[in-house]
Chain A
Amino acid sequence: MSVAVLTGIAFVLVLGVTVGAARPRRSSGVSDFYVASRAVPPWWNGAAITSEYTSAAACLGTAGLIAMHGSPMLWYPAGAAAGFVVVLALVVAPLRRSGTYTLPDFAEWRLRSVRLRRFTTCFVLVIGLVFLVAQLHAAGVVVRLLTGLPPWLGWAAVAVAALGVAFAGGLGSVTSVQASQFWLKLAVFVGVGVACWWTVGTRPVALLEVAYRAGSAGLAGAGDPSLAGVLAVLLASALGTMGLPHVIVRVYTDRDGRGARRSIVATQVLLAAFCVVPPLYGVLGRVHVRGAAADEIVLLLPARMLPGVLGDVLTGLLAAGAFAAFLATTAGVLVAVGGAVSACVSRAGVRPFRTAVAGVLVAALVLTAVTIPGVSVALVLLGFSLSAATFCPLLVLGIWWRRLTDVGVAAGFALGGGVTGALVLAEQAGVKMGALTSCPAPVAVPLSFAVMVVTSLVTPGRLPRGVGRMMVRMHVPEHRVGPSAYRSSRRDDRWS
């Protein structure tokens, strides 16, 4: 089995680096590194977004949770996909028209505060690191489980490949890798799943328990099979999507607001195509793989169902698909977070960008080394919860409400992020306060919204100048403001 697995992993990594390295021959400027020259077509961008969104948690973790905890977990992918409809309705076109590049960039532009930019960059860094650690741990699990080699080889393989792609051409290279590997991942996971299903017929579905029940929750409420626990996770997923730095940065790679909207619709269609994967593997895993950890169930399935050469080959294919997922998400997060950090501490440029990317990756590797691998869904859900309690209120209020102030945003971030962190730590320390607190979003998100609104109302003196012009820029389509103000990429845009 080891030969098939190592061959599959090597094929995906070499393919990724080759595709990523091919792009700089066409363009290699600062704009290409930060925003892929703002020229990615919607369907290509949609494939890239879907690729980085279907990370370790979507490919391995969710199916594992369905196998372990039963049908209540079937709703998790639905919540994650719903987030894009919310992004489409509330955020995407105005955010693209703002002409900013990252979430901290938007915070500085909208609230006229450099200090707020630095503050929000810290949250981008934390959310990004959480996602990176989840991918690296999952890579370690694949290598240890299927080949017997030490897990750090898996971390190192993903880290080196992602670094190579990011260094080669920034977001331009990463986009090419993500979009091309999405189709590989889709074909592998659906193909292997259907092959396994074909051998057993439709019987396994009958063994799926269909009931909510009391149960213990993991980190950030992951795996809680109660109705309240499931609804809390769905809320975090649906609202947290809009604040994920690696997802939002893709909005800026479109030509204009119209293109950004179409990219999100393309993402929705491609996510719908991928949505059969978690239930397919979850149902099969519940019957055929007992006693394994959540992230291991999908990987062990082909060998348990089809012992022999065919099982080994299918396992090798799954390992390749899993590494395609890790590479796509790791490279996307690295570029998004590296871009935000480098733009915060220095001027835009290829060298600061590469330095920041390398620094973020080293931090992620250190964190991975000092933590133990858990369920990838739990870490990803922690990122979603943090994002929902901080960037979601900033974006929604910043885009639709004129009276938002920098003090209000800072207070909302501090309280929303603080409450999320405190509830997660309390849960981990054994303080049980029920489903609504084990997944902090239902408490932290309304609190953050309320604090931002109230604090903004009591600090009217902090209202930035030119809010009216900002609202025009965000909400009036490019063709209606006339050629003199047409700014699909604005004049003072540093990135293009």
Chain B
Amino acid sequence: MSAGRRVVVRRRPPALGRSSGLSGPRERLPDVPAIVGLQLRRALRTVAAVAGLLLGLPVLAAWVPEPWAWVALSVAVHGAWVCLAVLQLRCAERLER
């Protein structure tokens, strides 16, 4: 430990990179296009699954003339939305870690 003379700091020093409004030169800038690309691919996969279920189930149901099946499918699809939402949340948070 150096025994340099202590001085009173009267004003808070400016934060690094304040002028740019973003990370300064000493902070490691993340690879933004890569992050955006990964996020977008993940998001589009989820949206594709939603579109498939949303448009596919009503079409498939047309071949099942059972009232119970229609009611059960229309309620069960909410479970699928919850699963997709949880999956999307986990993947998005893992990508950003």
Q: Chain A interface (Cβ within 8 Å of chain B)?
A: 71-72, 74-75, 77-79, 81-82, 84-86, 88-90, 93, 205-212, 227, 230-231, 234, 238, 258, 261-262, 264-265, 268-269, 271-272, 275-276, 279, 283, 400, 468-469, 471-473, 475-477, 480-485
A265 touches B79 (CB 8 A): no
Query: Is B62 interfacial (CB-CB < 8 Å)?
Result: yes
Query: With A85-B46, A475-B39, A484-B15 known to touch, is A272 a contact of B58 (CB < 8 Å)?
Result: no
Q: Chain B interface (Cβ within 8 Å of chain A)?
A: 15-18, 21-24, 27, 30, 32, 35-36, 39-40, 42-44, 46-47, 50-51, 53-55, 57-59, 61-62, 64-71, 74-75, 77-79, 81-82, 84-86, 88-89, 92-93, 96
Nearest neighbor of A92 in chain B, beta-carbon distance: B92
B58 touches A82 (CB 8 A): no
Measured CB to CB, the closest approach of chain A to B67, in angstroms, equals 4
A485 touches B30 (CB 8 A): no
A-B contact sample (4 more), CB < 8 A, given A208-B67, A261-B93, A484-B23: A78-B57, A85-B81, A89-B46, A469-B22
A265 touches B89 (CB 8 A): yes
A93 CB contacts on chain B under 8 angstroms? 92
* Ranked 6 nearest A-B pairs via Cβ: A74-B74, A272-B78, A482-B27, A89-B43, A477-B96, A89-B46
Count of inter-chain pairs, beta carbons less than 8 A: 152
Measured CB to CB, the closest approach of chain A to B16, in angstroms, equals 5
B89 touches A471 (CB 8 A): no
A85 touches B59 (CB 8 A): no
B54 CB contacts on chain A under 8 angstroms? 78-79, 82, 234, 238
B58 touches A210 (CB 8 A): no
Measured CA separation A75–B81 after assembly (Å):
13
Nearest neighbor of A400 in chain B, beta-carbon distance: B40
Nearest neighbor of B39 in chain A, beta-carbon distance: A475
Nearest neighbor of B18 in chain A, beta-carbon distance: A484
Tell which of A265, A469, A485 touches B86, judged by Cβ atoms closer than 8 Å.
Answer: A265
B43 touches A90 (CB 8 A): yes
B15 touches A78 (CB 8 A): no
Measured CB to CB, the closest approach of chain B to A282, in angstroms, equals 9
Q: What are 20 of the A-B contact pairs (CB < 8 Å)?
A: A71-B71, A82-B54, A84-B81, A85-B85, A89-B47, A90-B43, A208-B70, A230-B58, A234-B54, A234-B58, A261-B93, A265-B85, A271-B78, A272-B82, A276-B75, A279-B74, A400-B40, A471-B36, A476-B30, A485-B17
B32 touches A472 (CB 8 A): yes
A269 CB contacts on chain B under 8 angstroms? 82
B67 touches A205 (CB 8 A): yes
Measured CB to CB, the closest approach of chain B to A209, in angstroms, equals 8
A72 CB contacts on chain B under 8 angstroms? 58
Chain B, interface SS category: helix
Measured CB to CB, the closest approach of chain B to A447, in angstroms, equals 19
A482 CB contacts on chain B under 8 angstroms? 17, 23-24, 27
B88 touches A283 (CB 8 A): no
A231 touches B55 (CB 8 A): yes
B68 touches A279 (CB 8 A): no
A71 touches B47 (CB 8 A): no
A264 touches B36 (CB 8 A): no
A212 touches B62 (CB 8 A): yes
Measured CA separation A269–B23 after assembly (Å):
37
B32 touches A262 (CB 8 A): no
B86 CB contacts on chain A under 8 angstroms? 265
Measured CB to CB, the closest approach of chain A to B96, in angstroms, equals 4
Nearest neighbor of A473 in chain B, beta-carbon distance: B22
Tell which of A210, A261, A480 touches B92, judged by Cβ atoms closer than 8 Å.
Answer: A261
Nearest neighbor of A261 in chain B, beta-carbon distance: B89
Query: With A74-B70, A481-B22, A485-B22 known to touch, is A264 a contact of B77 (CB < 8 Å)?
Result: no
B62 touches A75 (CB 8 A): no
Tell which of B32, B67, B84 touches A85, judged by Cβ atoms closer than 8 Å.
Answer: B84
Which of A74, A77, A275 has the most chain B CB atoms closer than 10 A to its own CB? A74
Query: With A77-B74, A230-B58 known to touch, is A84 a contact of B23 (CB < 8 Å)?
Result: no
Measured CB to CB, the closest approach of chain B to A154, in angstroms, equals 31
A89 CB contacts on chain B under 8 angstroms? 42-44, 46-47, 50, 88
Query: With A477-B96, A482-B27, A484-B17 known to touch, is A210 a contact of B67 (CB < 8 Å)?
Result: yes
B85 touches A481 (CB 8 A): no
Measured CA separation A231–B44 after assembly (Å):
20
Query: With A230-B58, A475-B32 known to touch, is A81 a contact of B81 (CB < 8 Å)?
Result: yes
Measured CB to CB, the closest approach of chain B to A61, in angstroms, equals 16
Measured CA separation A475–B89 after assembly (Å):
15
B21 touches A485 (CB 8 A): yes
B55 touches A234 (CB 8 A): yes
B85 touches A88 (CB 8 A): yes
Query: With A79-B54, A265-B85, A279-B75 known to touch, is A476 a contact of B92 (CB < 8 Å)?
Result: no
Measured CB to CB, the closest approach of chain B to A335, in angstroms, equals 26
Measured CB to CB, the closest approach of chain B to A22, in angstroms, equals 32
Nearest neighbor of B45 in chain A, beta-carbon distance: A89
A71 touches B27 (CB 8 A): no
A484 touches B84 (CB 8 A): no
B70 touches A210 (CB 8 A): yes
B88 touches A484 (CB 8 A): no
Nearest neighbor of B14 in chain A, beta-carbon distance: A484
B62 CB contacts on chain A under 8 angstroms? 211-212, 227
B22 CB contacts on chain A under 8 angstroms? 469, 472-473, 481, 484-485
Which of A88, A212, A477, A481 has the most chain B CB atoms closer than 10 A to its own CB? A88
